Amino acid sequence: MNTQTLSTSLPLVAADTGRTPNKALARAGEIAARFSLGLLAPLAILALWQLASAYEWIPVQILPSPRQTWETFLDLAARGELGEHLSISLARVSWSVLAGGSIGLALGFAIGLSARAKAYLHPSFEVFAQFPVIGWIPLLMLFLGIDEALKIVAISFAVVVPVTVNTYKGILAIARDLLEVGRVYAFTSRQTLLRVVIPSALPSIFSGIRQGIMQAWLALIFVELLASSEGLGYLMTWARQVMQLDIVFALILVVGLVGFVLDWVLQKTENHFLAWNPKGL
């Protein structure tokens, strides 16, 4: 009887062990399919670009070929010029995110935690949030000139808004039941903030920081295009002025690639730290 039981259970064990590789293969196939679909649009654009360049639908002085653009990119990288300007741009973004993110978190917590602060600050913040970064440039030039302070302050403005909004919305969305638990355990204000408010609002705060960093990267290019003597935006402006559009196209690809990598890293970081708390509970 034991032999019969063993013999009948063996196929089940084999079937169970066989399903795991099948699921892994199916998952890998699904990821590969999504990746392939994501490449269709870039490959189509690249093919159209190559055709337009090969048949000179647009003059080569205006639309350089993909090969020429790639060679220009390699040349900029080999000379160290690309790395130098990219490091300057990334440093500006870092300082702006630090400054704008700190202000945004402070405003977000103040508006979310204090009804009085919300009454005083929220209307003015709503007006401030309606102005695009580029609209502040003329005014900032009057007070700060065109030095480095102008870039940092202007880019910081782009960070403040998403960080503030996501922070106070995350706090206002905290379930009342969680706050009642804190009252039952007689939490102090500091304990309530550290054990209830911040963990519950953390998904929204992370989302605001991620949006703020991406907004900073976009604002950086605008600011450097308008008023800068260093950085990727400045290099694009200089290349356009001397009609070296292969450099412009190469830098457009660099800006897009860096932005994509930044967003991917931020998304993975957000998923890693919030895996334990997917609903902010």
Confidence of residue 95 (pLDDT cuts 50, 70, 90): very high
Given a cut of 50, is residue 32 above it in pLDDT? Answer: yes
pLDDT of residue 16 exceeding 90, the answer is: no
Q: Residue 177 corresponds to which tokens in the numbers above?
A: 């039941």
| Domain locations in the chain as residue ranges | 1-57, 66-273
Q: What is the pTM of this model?
A: 0.77
Mean pLDDT of the chain: 82
pLDDT at 23 over 90: no
3-state secondary structure of 231: coil
Q: Please tell me the chain's helix, strand, coil percentages from 3-state DSSP, rounded to the nearest 5.
A: 85, 0, 15
Predicted local confidence at residue 88, as pLDDT: 92
d(CA 244, CA 128): 38
Q: Is 2 exposed, middle or buried (0-12, 13-18, 19+ CB in 10 A)?
A: exposed
Which overall architecture, per CATH, does domain 66-273 show?
Orthogonal Bundle (1.10)
Q: Is the pLDDT of residue 180 over 60?
A: yes
Q: What is the pLDDT of residues 109-151, one digit of tens each?
A: 999 888 899 999 999 999 888 888 888 888 888 888 878 888 8
